[in-house]
Amino acid sequence: MPADSPPSPHEGPGGPLLSLRGISKSFGAVAALTDVDLDVAAGRVVALVGDNGAGKSTLVKILSGVHRPDAGTIGFGAETVAITSPATAQRLGIATVFQDLALCENLNVVENLFLGRELRGLRLDEVGMEVRSRALLGELSAKIPSVRVPVAALSGGQRQTVAIARTLLGDPKVIILDEPTAALGVAQTAEVLNLIERLRERGLGVLMVSHNMADVRAVADTVAVLRLGRNNGVLDAAGTTASQLVAAITGAADNVVSRRAGRDRATADGTESAYGAGAAQQGEAS
Amino acid sequence: MTEPAAVTNPGPRPDDPLSPLGQKPRPAGARDRLRAASGRLRGGDLGLLPVLAGLVVIWVVMQILDPLFLSSANLTNLALESVPVGVIALGVVCVLLVGQIDLSVGSISGLGAAVLAVLFVDRGLPAWLAVAVALALAGLIGWLYAQVHNRIGVPSFVITLGGLLGFLGVQLWILGPKGSINLPFDSGLVTFAQLHFLPPWLAYTLVAAGAVVLYATGAARASERRRAGLAAASRRLLAGRSLALLAGLGAAVWYLNRDRGVGWMFVFFLALVLALHYVLSRTAFGKSMYAVGGNLEAARRAGVNVKAVLTTAFVLCATLACVGGVLSAARLAAANQSSGGGDVNLNAIAAAVIGGTSLFGGRGTAFAALLGVLVIQSISSGLTLLNLDSAYRFMVTGGVLLLAVSLDAVARRSRVSHGRA
């Protein structure tokens, strides 16, 4: 169980768990990623941000074994590894929750959690699976009405929780969340962000791809910015304003987002400038 | 805005009184079950209720139209008549569950009957060997369908439409110019299908054993769940369920025993239904079938061997279709050019759908085949008693099928609106 791993609320003692160096990937003549570095440490949440086409999805697909990089090395723990397939990624302990979640809506929560890795002795150990499901969801403080309802009856946030809980059964060390709060309401977003904090408390390295500056600043420890397939800085989430983030993403301090934020500031007399920029960025992204 | 909310929202705690996961489990009594069932029903999870209600309506109407309908003699026949199509429908349930379809089950059953007759009668092979060859051939056909589907990606609808015509051709070719082969009346196959009935004491013993097994397995599960601290069915509920089964089946056996009794062929069908029910509801393979039918991509990413599941479903369907064909030939004591033709194909598919198997995949049980075929056969038997020919039978069966599919679609819409789809 992942619960066995020691909780390390801050930087893990062994340096970065997952470290990418000089990753490049092109599709034909299009260079999707050029010489990208990225570090994810145990017990840390790294947000991966960037505008559309910045290479976030390509990077996630490389880490989850869907694509192979053209150049560069991936270090996992102390070793250099080659992630050749989704199965390799899972064996290493890199779990990815894609945006579509991939749940079977006609099956209930327990069946979804254990799909493809059912506990069985002589026959299916349904009691064991239900007990472990309840324990796991309890540890994540998940608000699931019952583990025996079909996933179709759950809200978007609850489904996200089930999808994340399912990856935890594989005892991963790094979890990659692809747009975990996209298409979620306010309360459900807060629920998922709480869940991400709980993953950090369990000592997992979390890489979160997001377009939402407010969410990024709420849970991330560091923010890695990609721009046009290249690194455009790694920022400390706590000491960065939303407008600085937007500047890093768009590549200029003077752009439509900041101009709009400035206009808001002028009318609202400087109150809640971060809020205005965050909202504007959200509007741009969606 | 989400930012302040995300920081200040303390989130649910495990001891949150509102969180049902933190609740102390209590035994689920009959009333809880009833409430949960009515909730599921309103949410569009209809289960077996529509087909049971339909069966009652049909039986009442037929009995009013013809007092002989519910006689022991007619019901004994009805039970035997429904077995061949019922077994085929069982296979159709398998392919529908994984979100596929097999339109060629009629042709495969006819081919199975023809192969059996040629090998058994013309070539003089022992019956068991002839049956085994027919089953192996059918399994091969199912495997072939699956390969074409998995490797080339042709929709199963089209593949099996080709099979419908192609294997009808093979059946005619195998039967040759004379076109019909009679099975000897004293052969084991024919007597099994026509003459062998359970002695009353054995029938009652089986019913009692069924009730005891139902209670014992239920109680074992309940106590295991209780030990693990999970909600479990109360003993009273389990006992009530077993007694209801005992009374219902006991009365049915008593009524049929006033005539010839319960046919061995029907018992064989019931055994197949129970076996498939066990596989679907209690094994990892069964879960993976539902998963593939519900969301194929999700199943694949969860590590389910989707191709193997699809292959198994097609092979099971074709093999069961062949079993149905063999039983049909045994019951008729002949295999001919019209074996498996006519309405067999659509009756089998209709039975599965009428029984509550969704055409959209991922929903249905083995009991759908049993109840669905009883509906179809009741209509057929009732109209035959009324001396109405197949023209009326086709029309009524078609109407009932349309009704069942509409119900499936409406239930699906209701599931969507109740967030259960």
Q: Quick one: pLDDT at residue B404?
A: 80
Q: How many CB pairs under 8 A join A and B?
A: 144
A142–B5 CB contact, under 8 Å: no
pLDDT for A212-243, tens place per residue? 888 888 899 999 999 888 888 888 888 888 88
A2 domain-assigned = no
B11–A191 CB contact, under 8 Å: yes
Q: Quick one: pLDDT at residue B5?
A: 37
Whether A184 and A157 have beta carbons less than 8 Å apart is answered as: yes
Q: Quick one: pLDDT at residue A281?
A: 46
B6–A190 CB contact, under 8 Å: yes
Whether A123 and B283 have beta carbons less than 8 Å apart is answered as: yes
Q: At what angle do helices B49-65 and B390-417 cross, to 10 degrees?
A: 150
Whether A40 and A205 have beta carbons less than 8 Å apart is answered as: yes
- Å between A102 CA and nearest CA of chain B: 4
Query: Given CB atoms, is B17 within the 8 Å cutoff of chain A?
Result: no
Query: Given CB atoms, is B169 within the 8 Å cutoff of chain A?
Result: no
pLDDT for B178-220, tens place per residue? 889 999 988 888 888 888 899 999 999 999 999 999 999 999 9
Query: Given CB atoms, is B152 within the 8 Å cutoff of chain A?
Result: no
- Å between A141 CA and nearest CA of chain B: 6
- Å between A55 CA and nearest CA of chain B: 23
Q: How many domains does chain A have?
A: 1
Please give the share of chain B, as a percent, with pLDDT higher than 90.
Answer: 61
Q: Mean pLDDT over all residues of chain A?
A: 82
Domains of chain B: 68-195+284-404 (1.10.3470), 197-262 (no CATH)
Of B165, B164, B162, the closest CA to residue B152 belongs to B162
A272 domain-assigned = no
- Average pLDDT value for residue range A250-270: 70
A123 domain-assigned = no
- Per-window interface: B 362-381 vs A, CB < 8 A: 362-363
B303–A116 CB contact, under 8 Å: yes
Alpha carbon distances (Å) from B11 to A133, A156, A179, B2, B271: 19, 16, 21, 14, 51
Which of A111, A141, A189 is opposite residue B11, by nearest beta carbon?
Answer: A141
Of A232, A95, A105, A99, the closest CA to residue A175 belongs to A95
pLDDT for A19-78, tens place per residue? 999 999 999 888 889 999 999 999 999 999 988 888 888 999 899 888 899 999 999 988
Its domain, for residue A67, covers 14-100+173-259
- List all residues 6 or more positions away from A97 whose beta carbon is below 8 Å from its beta carbon: A160, A163, A164, A167, A175, A176, A177, A178, A180
- Per-window interface: A 11-40 vs B, CB < 8 A: none
A166 domain-assigned = no
* CATH number of the domain enclosing A33: 3.40.50.300
Please give the share of chain A, as a percent, with pLDDT higher than 70.
Answer: 85
More confident residue, B410 or A261: B410
- Å between B417 CA and nearest CA of chain A: 10
B419–A152 CB contact, under 8 Å: yes
DSSP A159-217: HHHHHHHHHHHT--SEEEEESTTTT--HHHHHHHHHHHHHHHHTT-EEEEE-S-HHHHH
DSSP chain A: -GGGSPP-SSS-TTSEEEEEEEEEEEETTEEEEEEEEEEEETT-EEEEE--TTSSHHHHHHHHTTSS--SEEEEEETTEEE---SHHHHHHHTEEEE-TTTT--TTSBHHHHHTTTS--BSSSB-HHHHHHHHHHHHHHTT---S-TTSBGGGS-HHHHHHHHHHHHHHT--SEEEEESTTTT--HHHHHHHHHHHHHHHHTT-EEEEE-S-HHHHHHH-SEEEEEETTEEEEEEESTT--HHHHHHHHHT-SSSHHHHHHHHHHHHHTTTTHHHHHHHHHHHHH-
User: What are the tokens at B203?
Assistant: 């029938």
Query: Given CB atoms, is A141 within the 8 Å cutoff of chain B?
Result: yes
Task: With residue B143 as reference, give the H or E element that holds it.
Answer: helix B127-147
- Per-window interface: B 290-319 vs A, CB < 8 A: 290-291, 293-295, 297-299, 301-304
B421–A152 CB contact, under 8 Å: yes
Q: Quick one: pLDDT at residue A272?
A: 47
A233 domain-assigned = yes
A190–B420 CB contact, under 8 Å: no
User: Which one of A103, A109, A112, A127 makes the best mutation probe of the B interface by having the most chain B beta carbons within 10 Å?
Assistant: A127
B299–A104 CB contact, under 8 Å: yes
- The nearest alpha carbon in chain B to A130 belongs to B230
Query: Given CB atoms, is A242 within the 8 Å cutoff of chain B?
Result: no
- The nearest alpha carbon in chain B to A169 belongs to B302
pLDDT for A106-155, tens place per residue? 899 999 999 888 887 667 888 889 999 988 888 887 778 888 888 888 88
Which of A106, A138, A153 is opposite residue B290, by nearest beta carbon?
Answer: A106
A104–B291 CB contact, under 8 Å: yes
Residues of A in contact with B13 (CB under 8 A): 141
User: Structure pTM?
Assistant: 0.83
Residues of B in contact with A104 (CB under 8 A): 290-291, 294-295, 298-299, 362
A126 domain-assigned = no
Give the C-alpha separation, B341 to B339, whole Å.
5
- Average pLDDT value for residue range B236-242: 92
Residues of A in contact with B304 (CB under 8 A): 115-116
Whether B83 and B265 have beta carbons less than 8 Å apart is answered as: yes
Q: Mean pLDDT over all residues of chain B?
A: 87
Query: Given CB atoms, is A230 within the 8 Å cutoff of chain B?
Result: no
Query: Given CB atoms, is A135 within the 8 Å cutoff of chain B?
Result: no
A253 domain-assigned = yes
A155 domain-assigned = no
- Å between B226 CA and nearest CA of chain A: 9
Whether A248 and A233 have beta carbons less than 8 Å apart is answered as: yes
